[in-house]
Amino acid sequence: MRTKNLFIPVLLSGFILSLFLSPDLTALKKNQGQQPQKTKPIIIPKQVKVVFEEGMKTQEPRLDIPFTIAEYIYLPTLSQNLYTIFLFKVKNEVLGYSPIKQPGEGQEKKKEKEKEEVQPASVSAPTRLQSSSSIFIQLNKLENGSPGELVSEVYVPIKIETDSGSYEPDKEEIYSTGYPFPPGHYLASIAIASKDLEEIGTQYLEFSLPDAAAMTDRLETTPLFFYKNMEEISSPETTVTVHKGFFTYSILQFEPNLEGAHSSGDTMEVFFYIYGAQPVEGQNFNIEINYEVFKGKDVEVSWAPKIYTAPLIHQPLPLEKTVLITSTTKDGQTTEKKEKSPIEPGSYTLSITITDKVSGKSIVKTADFVVK
């Protein structure tokens, strides 16, 4: 696991400040459908709307463009909205990758053809490719199990570039996009559509976003997630964007580990936010967390309790256990020493016990993972 050029305690304290000062997580909403116009702008075209209406009640996906929703994650913003990240699995070839035409390219190709007629053929440089499809997200409140009031519409063009030399059309990869939504219980209708809207694939997702202001009697967390790599980016994004292989949150960029798969000897990285904890004087918190790894019902690894002064948690956890080595000397004396050893391959559960030392409230969260 790599956390490039970051000293984590300093990063997170600075990150929290940037989170509540930066406009990115609230400005996104102003970019779509919030302009002062006499007529309501069309965000989701009629062709896609019709497909959504046909499938919402049964939530039956349409597979013109096959994809799956691999995961969704939400994290806090300046307002009551929660920045909601959708992670998709889709084959590259269905996203309309094609060569990028540069200005004056027609004339250049003509000259190249003339040269080829008098010169031996040579290996050409990789071509730059760009995807040309779009993602549409429609959010409806779920009322008595049925889609009700329309809450939000989102349009996101997929404009991702890659070299033809590294492009793998048949490979299924992770793509992501994020948007701030208010608390509530929702049905998300999500479509990936070709540029001409002739091909439209859909998936549906029921999910809930908690109301942080209402959490005065309990602790709760955002979804725990593991990641392979975290980097700091120069500035927060201010437009809705699709990413390939990673997602962003304010000034952080994550390469997710959706399968929760780790190699023996790895350090597992976990990230989440705690709601409901009470600050002490100076706006600091006093949160104690116990981390344990279970194999079945047995504790495989445990760490000393850790204290945090902020509710945004990043924690590296070395996947190694303490073993007692017993040996016998020549004169028959028995000696014991403790050593660290990587945990064996297998399926495990991370258990996290969170206690707010100010209010006394506590909660236990778990996440499964595997060691290969």
Write down which residue in 203, 229, 258 finishes a domain. 258
Q: Are residues 172 and 204 in the same domain?
A: yes
CATH number at residue 280: 2.60.40
Reported pTM: 0.84
Write down the pLDDT at residue 358.
Answer: 94
Domain match, 313 and 234 both: no
Same domain, 44 and 163: yes
pLDDT of residue 171: 97
- pLDDT profile of the chain (372 residues), mean per 10: 46 48 44 53 94 96 97 93 97 95 60 53 70 97 94 96 94 97 97 97 97 92 96 91 96 96 93 94 90 96 95 95 75 76 95 97 98 95
Range of the domain at 89: 1-99+127-258
* Within a domain: 117: no
pLDDT of residue 28: 52
The total domain count for the chain is 2
Can you give the chain as a three-state secondary structure string? Answer: CEECCCCHHHHHHHHHHHHHHCCHHHHHHHCCCCCCCCCCCCCCCHHHHHHHHHHCCCCCCEECCCEEEEEEEEEECCCCCEEEEEEEEEEHHHHCCEECCCCCHHHHHHHHHHHHHHCCCCCCCCCEEECCCEEEEEEEEEECCEEEEEEEEEEEECCCEEECCCCCCCCEEEEEEEEEECCEEEEEEEEEECCCCCCEEEEEEEEEECCHHHCCCCCEECCCEEEEEEEECCCCCCCCCEEECCEEECCEEEEECCCCEECCCCEEEEEEEEECCCCCHHHCCCEEEEEEEEECCEEEEECCCEEECCCEEEEEEECEEEEEEEEECCCCCEEEEEEEEECCCEEEEEEEEEEECCCCCEEEEEEEEEEC
Domain assignment present for 111:
no
Instruction: Tell me, yes or no, whether 73 lies in a domain.
Output: yes
